[in-house]
Amino acid sequence: MAGIIALTLFAVLATVISYFGYHHYAKPGRIFERVGGSGVEIETEETRAAGGPGFLVRTIRRIGEKVPVSPQDASLTRRYLIAAGYRSEGALLTYYGIKVALCVILVAFAFVFRNYLTSLLLLRVVLVVGAGLAGYFGPNLALDRLVGRRQERLRFSLPDALDLMVVSVEGGLALDQAMQVVSHELEITHPEICEELQLVTLEMRAGTRRADALRHLAERTGETEIRSLVAVLVQTDRFGTSMADSLRTHSDFLRVRRRQEAEERANKVGVKLVFPIFFCILPSMFLVTGGPALLQIIKQLRPLIRQFGS
């Protein structure tokens, strides 16, 4: 029975990987080859807009439309999706559809294989209920992880973007042109920060005030260091102080803070290694060093134990 479960999970995993690999890499790559592109940098949003969503995506979105969600929860979830980099109109419906579909699939698997996994009725019920909860709340954990990873990439790319922005401002460019230059020059190495700066530039071109566009940047990302940068830029623009000096000072502060965080993590390594050493390495060392001596002691004491027993 374990072999059947393993083959079923392998088939499901292979199907999902094949579907996403074809629609996100193989098919766009062939399109770029036909038009003469390199196929390395693929704009998935444009290909989706040109070809439309697939049958599976449309089905998941239809399921998501039926989920009753309050406006407060929908607004909070959309904010998390935007922080993770998903800004399309159907991202919210797709997210709720994935939650419902995953819940139904895991409940079905647990209901089918419950008799083979345990013989107790209570454990069967707990297994089915736990599978449903894991399927519905599992995407929340995945979304939090995606948001954390993207915020970490934004945080690590911010000092480089600030250095290039300082050079641009000192070269005579305004802050708007400097952000546009940064968004084009660092597009390969730091695509996340470039995408956010491009959105800021587009908002300002559309007529939004610079302070409001920068505040929208802080709200979209949710990153603490970007919020502090936005506060510095807004205050510098309001009081008319030197933009280059403010950016250079903030860049130095970010680098010092990153070095301090690295030192803090390095100092915590010794404490974190206590438990792996105590539970994994120390028993092995005792077994290797004291095992032969213990066997010799038992070998020498066995005749004496037999004599006392007789």
Contact 157, 192 (CB under 8 A): yes
Domain at 171, CATH number:
1.20.81
Write down the pLDDT at residue 22.
Answer: 63
Distances (CA, A) of 141 to 80, 122, 147, 164, 276: 11, 27, 10, 35, 26
- Among candidates 141, 134, 140, 64, which has minimal Cα distance to 102? 134
Write down the pLDDT at residue 250.
Answer: 84
Contact 198, 190 (CB under 8 A): no
Q: Residue 9 has which token pair?
A: 């999970």
93-113 tens-digit pLDDT? 888 888 888 888 888 888 887
Contact 163, 251 (CB under 8 A): yes
Q: Residue 197 has which token pair?
A: 């700066």
In this structure, is residue 252 part of a structural domain? yes
In this structure, is residue 292 part of a structural domain? no
In this structure, is residue 254 part of a structural domain? yes
CA atoms of 192 and 84, how far apart (whole Å):
10
Rounded mean pLDDT, 59-85 = 85
Residue with tokens 């502060």: 253
Write down the pLDDT at residue 43.
Answer: 41
Q: Which residue blocks in 85-120 are alpha helix, DSSP H?
A: 91-117
In this structure, is residue 260 part of a structural domain? yes
- Among candidates 176, 146, 152, 169, which has minimal Cα distance to 225? 152
Is 35 a residue whose pLDDT tops 60? no
In this structure, is residue 261 part of a structural domain? yes
Write down the pLDDT at residue 54.
Answer: 72
Interacting residues of 130 by C-beta distance below 8 A, sequence separation 6+ = 110
**Number of structural domains the chain divides into:** 1
* Parent domain of 243: 151-266
Q: How confident is the model at residue 254 (pLDDT cuts 50, 70, 90)?
A: confident
Round the CA-based radius of gyration of the chain to a whole number and report it. 29
Is 164 a residue whose pLDDT tops 80? yes
In this structure, is residue 190 part of a structural domain? yes
Write down the pLDDT at residue 103.
Answer: 87
Write down the pLDDT at residue 41.
Answer: 39
Q: What b-and-e string marks burial along 202-223, b requiring 16 or more CB atoms within 10 Å of the CB?
A: ebbeeeeebeebbbbbbebbbb
Taking each continuous run of H as one helix and of E as one strand, the counts in the chain are 14, 0
In this structure, is residue 178 part of a structural domain? yes
Beta strands, E only, the chain: none
Q: How confident is the model at residue 236 (pLDDT cuts 50, 70, 90)?
A: confident
In this structure, is residue 126 part of a structural domain? no
Write down the pLDDT at residue 34.
Answer: 44
Distances (CA, A) of 147 to 27, 78, 79, 80, 222: 27, 12, 10, 7, 9
Is 199 a residue whose pLDDT tops 80? yes
Is 36 a residue whose pLDDT tops 80? no
CA atoms of 188 and 22, how far apart (whole Å):
24
Mean pLDDT of the chain: 80
Rounded mean pLDDT, 66-92 = 85
Within 13 A of 55's CA, how many CA atoms are on the CB side? 1
C-alpha triplet 50, 51, 56: angle, nearest 5°? 140
